């Protein structure tokens, strides 16, 4: 090692989410030394806080589950959903290398294991190649005891269902605890899991935590290193290539050599107020994001100095969010599909199908945000029937809302729709008229205004006992209102990469030795969001692609 370097590795990865861990793990499995540097004191990034779903069409787990899929079907779907906003070569690389990545990690690790999530539909199943039964997978349940001392450094999801460990495939069933037999039996299963954790040393985890824990455990067993509390500062560029990075540890700058290159997997810029205000639709706030606090876009300026090209900077993985008192932002997914719940603007009028995919919901929030009828915030309106039947923001049926919700004014309550409207400053007459019109749709089972409940995606979180799983009248007092905002689970714009995950310059040439994946790279999904896990899936796939390319280049150099 040259005297100029404090440490040296074949591959240096910035960021410890699923993409970064996959990249480092692949590098190790292919014979290269690898290190992950993580800005914060916890590993896992935004992946740990997420549902951990992975959308990779036509992979071995889907085949084992009997899901009919093919490259051709998936390609038709991505073309229909994404269009020409992304090069065909990038979409093809994702569809061909994705199943390869899943198979490689399955065959070469003990811990990286998934299971199919049946019925979790593609977000646009009606499009050519779309699958109403879904292509989503989630990590199998994982015992945190396998992490040993490293468990304390795993970023936790902080889900509102305190104590309950739920799989993605279980949540929509538990939401039907008062409505269906499978809801009751699944809830019992989840409850028994909770009892086991109380009576033994068993520490199960699911969702994003499980995916990260499985990847991290595999990486450590493969000999990879992870340095926490080690923020990235700059790239080192010499001899026409990226040769390392500058980081900081305990207040001291260090230089780490990257013999075969650097992989950025550091997330987007959701927590950077200035970049949000510069690029994203307005209004926008860092408080509304669900991403981890380390996502501040640190790598953008360093890459731009080397001529890196940026794209999709005005786009984000949008989701409506709400901020209950004393808690981080919350993502209402099932709530928006709940029958007996509507969402209105400042005039008390519906303006969209409440059950649409969350990114589309945020797009429509901004599209409809007019001075005479604002949608930021919008108001989630529901009645006592909803409160008694379904989960609302993690509060189980029969549980009371926390007192602080009403005391702080976060939760508004009214004995009539008119009284509720006065409490939130909208027209009592118009809200009452909106509810009356919606109630007629609910009785008929058909949303004449916005077609709610017609898509397989809408129905996934709905109530199967009803004529239309997403429609029920709002009739029983008291009535409730909660504000929601156009938040995100991450930004999707960043460094333009090619089908080998190499960072491209404005002149169309790659920056030698620099790769990127995840939310710091312009997404292969373009301006849309084809299915659950279409964020984490590409992050892992192109992390795998980058490390595999580095190993291939290293092999060629060794032979030369």
pLDDT of 559 reads: 82
Taking only the tens place, the pLDDT of each residue in 182-212 is: 999 999 999 999 899 989 999 999 999 999 9
Across the chain, mean pLDDT equals 96
Please tell me the distance from the alpha carbon of residue 170 to that of residue 172, in angstroms, as a whole number: 6
- pLDDT higher than threshold 70 for residue 39: yes
CA nearest neighbour of 342 among 446, 444, 481 = 481
pLDDT in tens, 121-166: 999 999 999 999 999 999 999 999 999 999 999 999 866 666 679 8
Please tell me the predicted confidence (pLDDT) of residue 375. Answer: 98
* Burial letters 355-370, b for 16+ CB under 10 A, else e: bbbbbbbbbbbbebbe
513: left (phi over 0), alpha (psi -120 to 50) or beta: left
High-pLDDT (> 70) share of the chain, %? 98
pLDDT at 415 > cutoff 80: yes
Taking the C-alpha atoms of residue 138 and residue 187, their distance in angstroms, rounded to an integer, is 19
Please state, as a whole number, how many other Cβ atoms lie within 10 Å of the Cβ of residue 488. 29
Query: Rounded distance, CA 177 to CA 184, Å?
Result: 5
551: how many CB neighbours lie within 10 A of its CB? Answer: 20
Q: Which domains does the chain have, with CATH numbers?
A: 319-488 (3.90.700.10)
pLDDT in tens, 1-13: 555 899 999 999 9
Residue 159: its pLDDT value, please? 67
pLDDT of residue 394: 87
User: Are 49 and 158 in contact, with CB atoms under 8 Å apart?
Assistant: yes
Residue 558's pLDDT band (boundaries 50, 70, 90)?
Answer: confident
How far is Cα 332 from Cα 343, in angstroms, rounded to an integer?
12
pLDDT for 157: 85
Q: What residue has token string 């990865």?
A: 13
What is the tens place of the pLDDT at every residue in 48-73? 999 999 999 999 999 999 999 999 99
Task: Report the first-to-last Cα separation within the chain, whole angstroms.
Answer: 22
pLDDT confidence of residue 134 = 97
Q: pLDDT (tens digit, 9 = 90+) per residue, 310-353?
A: 999 999 999 999 999 988 899 999 999 999 999 999 999 999 99
């Amino acid at each position: 090692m040259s005297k100029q370097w404090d440490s040296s590795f074949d591959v240096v990865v910035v960021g410890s989410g699923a993409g970064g861990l996959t990249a480092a793990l692949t590098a190790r499995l292919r014979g290269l030394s690898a290190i992950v540097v993580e800005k914060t004191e916890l590993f896992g990034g935004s992946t740990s806080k997420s549902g951990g779903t992975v959308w990779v069409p036509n992979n071995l787990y889907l085949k084992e589950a009997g899901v009919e899929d093919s490259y051709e079907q998936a390609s038709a779907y991505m073309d229909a959903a994404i269009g020409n906003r992304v090069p065909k070569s990038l979409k093809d690389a994702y569809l061909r290398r994705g199943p390869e990545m899943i198979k490689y990690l399955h065959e070469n690790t003990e811990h990286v294991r998934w299971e199919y999530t049946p019925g979790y539909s593609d977000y646009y199943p009606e499009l050519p190649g779309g699958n109403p039964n879904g292509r989503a997978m989630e990590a199998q349940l994982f015992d945190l005891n396998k992490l040993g001392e490293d468990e304390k450094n795993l970023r936790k999801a902080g889900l509102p269902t305190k104590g309950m460990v739920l799989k993605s495939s279980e949540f929509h069933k538990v939401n039907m605890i008062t409505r269906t037999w499978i809801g009751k039996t699944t809830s019992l299963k989840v409850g028994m899991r909770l009892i086991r954790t109380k009576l033994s040393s068993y520490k199960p985890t699911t969702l994003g935590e499980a995916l990260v824990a499985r990847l991290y455990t595999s990486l450590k067993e493969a000999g990879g290193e992870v340095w926490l509390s080690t923020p990235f500062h700059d790239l080192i560029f010499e001899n026409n290539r990226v040769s390392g990075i500058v980081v900081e540890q305990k207040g001291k700058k260090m230089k780490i050599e990257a013999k075969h290159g650097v992989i950025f997997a550091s997330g987007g810029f959701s927590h950077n107020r200035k970049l949000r205000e510069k690029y994203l639709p307005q209004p926008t706030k860092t408080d509304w994001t669900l991403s981890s606090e380390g996502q501040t876009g640190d790598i953008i300026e360093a890459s731009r100095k080397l001529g890196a090209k940026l794209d999709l900077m005005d786009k984000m993985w949008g989701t409506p969010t709400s901020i209950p008192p004393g808690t981080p932002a919350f993502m209402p997914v099932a709530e928006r599909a709940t029958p007996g719940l509507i969402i209105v603007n400042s005039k008390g009028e519906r303006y969209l199908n409440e059950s649409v995919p969350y990114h589309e919901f945020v797009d429509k929030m901004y599209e409809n945000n007019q001075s005479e009828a604002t949608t930021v915030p919008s108001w989630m309106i529901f009645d006592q029937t909803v409160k008694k039947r379904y989960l609302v923001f993690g509060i189980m049926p029969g549980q009371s809302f926390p007192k602080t919700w009403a005391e702080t004014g976060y939760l508004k309550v009214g004995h009539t729709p008119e009284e509720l409207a006065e409490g939130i400053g909208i027209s009592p007459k118009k809200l009452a008229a909106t509810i009356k019109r919606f109630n007629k749709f609910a009785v008929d089972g058909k949303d004449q205004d916005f077609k709610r409940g017609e898509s397989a995606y809408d129905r996934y979180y709905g109530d199967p006992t009803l004529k239309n799983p997403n429609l029920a009248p709002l009739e029983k007092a008291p009535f409730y209102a909660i504000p929601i905002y156009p938040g995100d689970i991450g930004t999707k714009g960043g460094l333009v990469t090619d089908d080998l995950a190499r960072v491209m310059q404005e002149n169309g040439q790659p920056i030698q030795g620099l790769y990127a994946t995840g939310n710091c790279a312009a997404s292969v999904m373009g301006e849309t969001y084809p299915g659950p896990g279409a964020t984490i899936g590409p992050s892992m796939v192109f992390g795998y692609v980058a490390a595999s390319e580095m190993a291939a280049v290293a092999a060629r150099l060794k032979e030369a």
